[in-house]
Chains A and B, each alone.
Chain A
């Protein structure tokens, strides 16, 4: 199949950027990124600079490959990262617009590559359980209800790709932050620091320039891992409790 691509090109964060048109031949078995590889091989053979995009594991787990495809982070297939999106979901002659995952807190580095280090800053603000190596009791010393463990697991499957932020009109990182708060806060090990964690992570989120949450729900719809918006509700409850419930 022949595809008409309109791709965002931007030399660096100071450059204004523009769209560039290319056409590329693809087959249905190719992943979206393999289609991009074919385009880049074409560009290199013409001695032009290839399109910069981030990718690594190509099996949907490292979270590198977020880009906005026809207006949707990771493209049209739900629950799927760009690297797992296959070209059989497109047809001959399709126009595809490819942009970086833009947000105020994700400045563009080059072409489709954005700087998501603000996510690391949020985790560093308290997205952990304070336990040094060697301090742990036996793994079975604290039984955890199976359903609770599963719920924590569901929140913990976040891959830090930033699709939620790119999808949100406010550029909010509430889904990302709440997923971590829920993952740790639901487990007995993580409850001890819950209040402190909630306040610190929310403050950092604001400081990094992420927007407010206005309950639109685009984050949940575009999340390739199906992280539930219920986590945001939990975060809001915890935050209110931490403010009005008095901090220990």
Chain B
């Protein structure tokens, strides 16, 4: 066992001034030396594109990689609701400290104080930067930026661009990246997938990629490697992730010695369109912003729920008094805007009681009728209409706020959400876990960095809404451009790394052998069918709630499935060709290992916190029960397929008091 030094490497000093002081004393790389240094950035979503473009602006030679046909397609593009920033433009009591505190509390006290505070500090600059790039954020009539509220907070600090905030931010980062590509400062490699990390003398020095157009295996070298490759929610098969989202770049790095931190911390988002059939390929999110105005409910009586399930009644047929607005009832202080983990579990509880409102019994209502009436009345007054059609006026306001989401809902379900309440159910959305990194966002492999959703650092056991965009851009625009210097300042005497080094040849051989092995199995079952089965196991035993017995069983089932995969998978097409099935096969193979590690991690953590809910550890009221005495640590796992080894980074809370998270 290697002896890992799991130090966060955070600078000492006062939390509030730590980042500023550190920036002022950090090692720099002079412009003439930057010209000789190469950096590989894998992934071009918000974190990757912002990092690549900013590092290029600084003068580094950047090689960027994406498996997409263009950087503009990364799944950051699908984020809907918004991006948080402690601007306090609304004068409602927001501050850097409050954003920091909300994020720590929202993450159920399982994230690193110093990283989270830095995130809150740079959040305001992100908005400035994006506005300067031309991101068309929503504005008030006075021409100033508008805000709305998100779950788990009591201020309005979320900036948004209708329900397409992720798209607009990604296009901004993509345009910045494009500007660097045309100058040659970034060499862009589209349709290239990273299949291995190359480590030379203990430092990350390159990657092996497959050109997805012709199957060519290529070597790429640099002084360091930055992973910005997103999360691993697709281990569940059905999730709100894009079809191509995968863990492979991160997992290949883990197999080269990087540590995987808190893999069991997955976020189940409460408001997604429910599953409609076995052919279903993905789940679609309905933005959390809808909970600003939508009220969540199920019928009070099981009889009413049954009639709805059988199609005899609709939501609108249930009288007001017969509805249970369970979030408002259970959590009066935050109501419908409780954090995601709390809202998801509450939906599960309602459906487990038999009160679900779809054919499958796995759905709850998200109802806009109160909002439509409230807005309609307000509009009637402001427009001075004497005999108003309140519903029509109200629907127009709701349409202006959420039109594209309502349209999307109608396209998918065929139902009109203005007339009937939406049906929603929780689905896998985001993964708080990821590659372990220190304060510099550097992994335990020197020269290997991880940004955005690919790392574990900022969201603890549960991420608050509108914070993923914030973190991706914070890491890429405002953190890595500084912290990478801590590593690279020691590399200014290192010549260009050669791809002729034996380590590259060896890694390339490993990749080629692996692809040949997968292809030569020539079994009878499709990759998709294995992925689907893996997803079922994960959802059943490592989903919204977990218990020791199930986790042990799930782990065993995954091992068996993995064995079957390597015996009976069938991959059509050629290795040297455009072959999406082959791409899927390598990704699913990696998920089949990660899934097991998630079970192991969930089993180790004998407490309930955030998105990790262990049935054995709950309060009498059914809320999560944390165990701060024994589990205030980051679980950083060293993978091997016999028994993964746990390394712990103890978390210290010097600035916030550990409390039971209450939204009541």
Decide whether A and B assemble into one complex. yes
Interface string of B30-71 (1 = CB under 8 A from A): 000000000000000000001001100100000000001111
A213 to B141, CA, bound (A): 36
Q: Give the shortest distance, in Å, between B213 (CB) and chain A (any CB).
A: 7
What chain A residues lie within 8 Å of B285 (beta carbons)?
59
A52 interfacial by beta-carbon distance below 8 Å: yes
Q: Give the shortest distance, in Å, between B386 (CB) and chain A (any CB).
A: 28
A61-B164, A156-B168 known; A189+B134 contact, CB < 8 A? yes
Q: Give the shortest distance, in Å, between B23 (CB) and chain A (any CB).
A: 12
Residue of B nearest to A88 (CB): B414
A153 interfacial by beta-carbon distance below 8 Å: yes
Interface string of A99-116 (1 = CB under 8 A from B): 000000000011001011
Instruction: Check if A128 sits within 8 Å of B129, measured CB to CB.
Output: no
Instruction: Check if B408 sits within 8 Å of A60, measured CB to CB.
Output: yes
Instruction: Check if B132 sits within 8 Å of A189, measured CB to CB.
Output: yes
Q: Give the shortest distance, in Å, between A115 (CB) and chain B (any CB).
A: 7
Instruction: Check if B182 sits within 8 Å of A124, measured CB to CB.
Output: yes
B100 interfacial by beta-carbon distance below 8 Å: no
Instruction: List residues of A (145-199) whose CB comes within 8 Å of B's CBs.
Output: 145-146, 149-150, 152-153, 156-157, 159-160, 183-184, 187, 189-190
Instruction: Check if B570 sits within 8 Å of A47, measured CB to CB.
Output: yes
B580 interfacial by beta-carbon distance below 8 Å: yes
B171 interfacial by beta-carbon distance below 8 Å: yes
Instruction: List residues of B (389-418) whose CB comes within 8 Å of A's CBs.
Output: 407-408, 411-412, 414
Q: Give the shortest distance, in Å, between A120 (CB) and chain B (any CB).
A: 5
Instruction: Check if B69 sits within 8 Å of A44, measured CB to CB.
Output: no
What chain A residues lie within 8 Å of B166 (beta carbons)?
61
A29 interfacial by beta-carbon distance below 8 Å: yes
A contact face: mostly helix, strand, loop, or mixed: loop
Interface string of B575-606 (1 = CB under 8 A from A): 00110110000000000000000000000000
Instruction: Check if B572 sits within 8 Å of A140, measured CB to CB.
Output: no
A27 interfacial by beta-carbon distance below 8 Å: yes
Chain B interface residue count, CB cutoff 8 Å, equals: 80
A78 to B478, CA, bound (A): 41
Instruction: Check if A37 sits within 8 Å of B132, measured CB to CB.
Output: no
Instruction: List residues of A (57-73) whose CB comes within 8 Å of B's CBs.
Output: 57-64
Instruction: Check if B175 sits within 8 Å of A50, measured CB to CB.
Output: no
B257 interfacial by beta-carbon distance below 8 Å: no
A92 interfacial by beta-carbon distance below 8 Å: no
A43 to B68, CA, bound (A): 25
Instruction: Check if B136 sits within 8 Å of A61, measured CB to CB.
Output: no
B528 interfacial by beta-carbon distance below 8 Å: yes
| Stretch of A1-9, A129-137, A214-222, A235-243 on the interface side | A129-137
B526 interfacial by beta-carbon distance below 8 Å: yes
Query: Which of A41, A43, A45, A124 has the most chain B CB atoms inside 10 A of its CB?
Result: A124
Interface string of A9-45 (1 = CB under 8 A from B): 0001000000000000001111101100110010111
Instruction: Check if A136 sits within 8 Å of B277, measured CB to CB.
Output: no
A224 to B578, CA, bound (A): 27
A84 to B408, CA, bound (A): 8
Instruction: List residues of B (407-437) whose CB comes within 8 Å of A's CBs.
Output: 407-408, 411-412, 414
| Stretch of B73-81, B317-325, B654-662 on the interface side | B73-81
Instruction: Check if B181 sits within 8 Å of A124, measured CB to CB.
Output: yes
Q: Among A47, A127, A190, point to the contact of B572 (Cβ < 8 A).
A: A47
A142 to B570, CA, bound (A): 58
What chain A residues lie within 8 Å of B526 (beta carbons)?
41, 44-45
| Stretch of B91-99, B142-150, B248-256, B643-651 on the interface side | B142-150
Interface string of A66-95 (1 = CB under 8 A from B): 000000000001011000111010000000
A54 interfacial by beta-carbon distance below 8 Å: yes
Instruction: Supply 23 A–B pairs (Cβ within 8 Å), ascending by A.
Output: A38-B279, A41-B526, A44-B526, A44-B570, A47-B570, A57-B77, A59-B284, A61-B77, A61-B166, A62-B73, A77-B411, A110-B577, A110-B578, A120-B181, A123-B174, A131-B133, A134-B129, A136-B132, A138-B128, A143-B139, A152-B134, A159-B167, A184-B134
